[in-house]
């Protein structure tokens, strides 16, 4: 048992911390503005990241990344999570990160050349299109969108929403039912690559070449699982970074804001309770994430699926509480864009919802744990 920071990243961390503080955090206050307004500065930052050899830390060296293990990347991701612009700056933002992973793993050589190469180089953006308005996101097997093969084309029909980052994406990876006659609901859907400039995008009678199938036909769920498991830990690593920054902001404010002359906020027992509780909760959640990353590296995502479920909701809860305390410590200022706290408060409420609501992860984790104690495996209304 050894809690030392992995040597490959240990020396990088202070450099990256400084870079994030000096080059990225100054842009934060403009995050509520139009994205376009920030783009030029961000592209400069990204160019500098690439020059320093920090580009796409999670991606294999073959595709132009740093080729870190998940446990190594966890430490970098924590630093990047300290600002809402960090992951984009280092080119490891969702959903591109997950899409690159599945293209690398399941894509044909041609698909890799056409899509992975420009994605990895940061020349285009992508999205992942699974959720449908009439169907619960927590039950991915229940899906209306269909794709049928007509000649050498997939013809896709359906309605999707909550497609993160769809605006500006050049590529959509779309889940659709291709084999409705399959007995198992988990073998009915496929993933298909759809350029967003295809006629009918929005998914009425969209036609793409048959060769745009990603992986095997009917393997849509298997690939989605391969994507979502590690995807969840990517979110968790980023949330730990948010927690760390929120904690620092809370401490700064508590140490400096005076309630009356010479009486800083941080002398109050209630605030001290928030500080101590947050420190302990962040540290515990962080170790749980590092342990899950280490286990995925050692034994693969399937062996670590209980660990992944656990961090998904525990870190989301921790994030919720730490942000709340940091905002309360700032008072009305915490609701302005003077800090990134309000932005996170608005945008990261989704942490407890996306990739499956926390309650769904809790139920599936519990059923696996209880099965080991003899609970019948049959499906429940939950």
At residue 146, φ and ψ (nearest 5 deg) are -125, 155
Q: Of the listed pieces 112-120, 173-181, 233-241, 306-314, which binds its own copies according to CB under 8 A?
A: 306-314
Q: Of the listed pieces 31-39, 40-48, 218-226, 354-362, which binds its own copies according to CB under 8 A?
A: 354-362
Q: Of the listed pieces 47-55, 171-179, 213-221, 352-360, which binds its own copies according to CB under 8 A?
A: 352-360
Binding status of residue 4 toward its own copies by CB under 8 A? yes
189 vs 193, beta carbon nearer its own copies: 189
75 vs 88, beta carbon nearer its own copies: 75
Q: Find, among 194, 216, 191, the residue nearest to 206 by Cα.
A: 194
- Rounded-to-integer distance, Cα 308 and Cα 95, Å: 18
Site string for its own copies, 99-138 (x = CB under 8 A): --------------------------------x----xxx
171 vs 236, beta carbon nearer its own copies: 236
- Contact predicate 193/111, CB 8 Å: yes
- Contact predicate 39/196, CB 8 Å: no
Tally of CA atoms within 13 A in the half-sphere of 340 that contains its CB: 24
Q: Of the listed pieces 56-64, 101-109, 219-227, 287-295, which binds its own copies according to CB under 8 A?
A: 287-295
Look up residue 273 and give its DSSP letter. Answer: H
The size of the interface with its own copies (CB under 8 A), counted in residues, is: 90
Site string for its own copies, 248-277 (x = CB under 8 A): x--xx-xxxxxxxx-xxxxxxxxxxx-xxx
ω into residue 95 within 30 of 0, thus cis? yes
DSSP output for 332-352: GGGGSTTSTHHHHHHHGGGGG
- Rounded-to-integer distance, Cα 376 and Cα 260, Å: 62
Considering only residues 34-53, where is the footprint of its own copies by CB under 8 A? Answer: none
Binding status of residue 316 toward its own copies by CB under 8 A? no
140 vs 158, beta carbon nearer its own copies: 140
Binding status of residue 71 toward its own copies by CB under 8 A? yes
Shortest separation between residue 125's beta carbon and its own copies, angstroms: 20
Residues 6+ apart with CB under 8 A from 162: 131, 137, 354
117 vs 353, beta carbon nearer its own copies: 353
Regarding beta strands 171-177 and 126-129, do their DSSP bridges make them parallel or antiparallel, or are they unpaired?
A: parallel
Considering only residues 174-213, where is the footprint of its own copies by CB under 8 A? Answer: none
């Amino acid at each position: 048992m050894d809690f030392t920071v992995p040597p490959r990243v240990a020396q990088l961390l202070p450099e990256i911390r400084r870079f994030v503080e000096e080059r990225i955090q100054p842009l934060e206050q403009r995050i509520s503005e139009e994205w376009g307004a920030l783009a030029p500065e961000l592209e400069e930052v990204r160019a500098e990241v690439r020059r320093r050899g920090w580009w796409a830390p999670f991606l294999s060296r073959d595709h132009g990344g740093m080729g870190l293990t998940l446990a190594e990347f966890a430490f970098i991701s924590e630093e990047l999570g300290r600002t809402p612009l960090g992951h984009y700056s280092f080119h490891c933002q969702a959903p591109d990160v997950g899409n690159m992973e599945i293209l690398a793993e399941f894509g044909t050589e041609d698909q890799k050349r056409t899509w992975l190469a420009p994605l990895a180089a940061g020349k285009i953006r992508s999205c992942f299109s699974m959720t449908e308005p009439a169907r619960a996101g927590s039950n991915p097997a229940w899906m209306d969108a269909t794709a049928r093969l007509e000649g050498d084309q997939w013809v896709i029909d359906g309605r999707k929403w909550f497609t993160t980052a769809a605006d500006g994406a050049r590529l959509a990876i779309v889940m659709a039912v291709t084999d409705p006659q399959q007995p198992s609901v988990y073998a009915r859907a496929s993933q298909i690559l759809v350029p967003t400039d295809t006629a009918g995008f929005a998914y009425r009678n969209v036609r793409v070449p048959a060769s745009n199938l990603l992986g095997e036909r009917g393997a849509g769920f298997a690939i989605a699982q391969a994507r979502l498991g590690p995807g969840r830990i990517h979110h968790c690593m980023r949330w730990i970074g948010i927690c760390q920054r929120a904690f620092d902001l809370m401490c700064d404010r508590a140490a400096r804001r005076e309630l009356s002359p010479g009486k800083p906020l941080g002398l109050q027992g209630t605030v001290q309770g928030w500080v101590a509780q947050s420190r302990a909760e962040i540290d515990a959640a962080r170790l749980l994430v590092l342990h899950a990353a280490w286990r995925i590296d050692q034994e693969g995502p399937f062996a670590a699926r209980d660990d992944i479920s656990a961090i998904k909701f525990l870190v989301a809860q921790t994030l919720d509480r730490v942000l709340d305390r940091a905002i309360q410590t700032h008072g009305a200022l915490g609701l302005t864009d003077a800090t990134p706290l309000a932005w996170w408060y608005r945008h990261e409420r989704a942490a407890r919802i996306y990739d499956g609501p926390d309650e769904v992860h809790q139920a599936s984790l519990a059923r696996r744990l209880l099965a080991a104690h003899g609970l019948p495996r049959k499906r429940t209304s939950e």
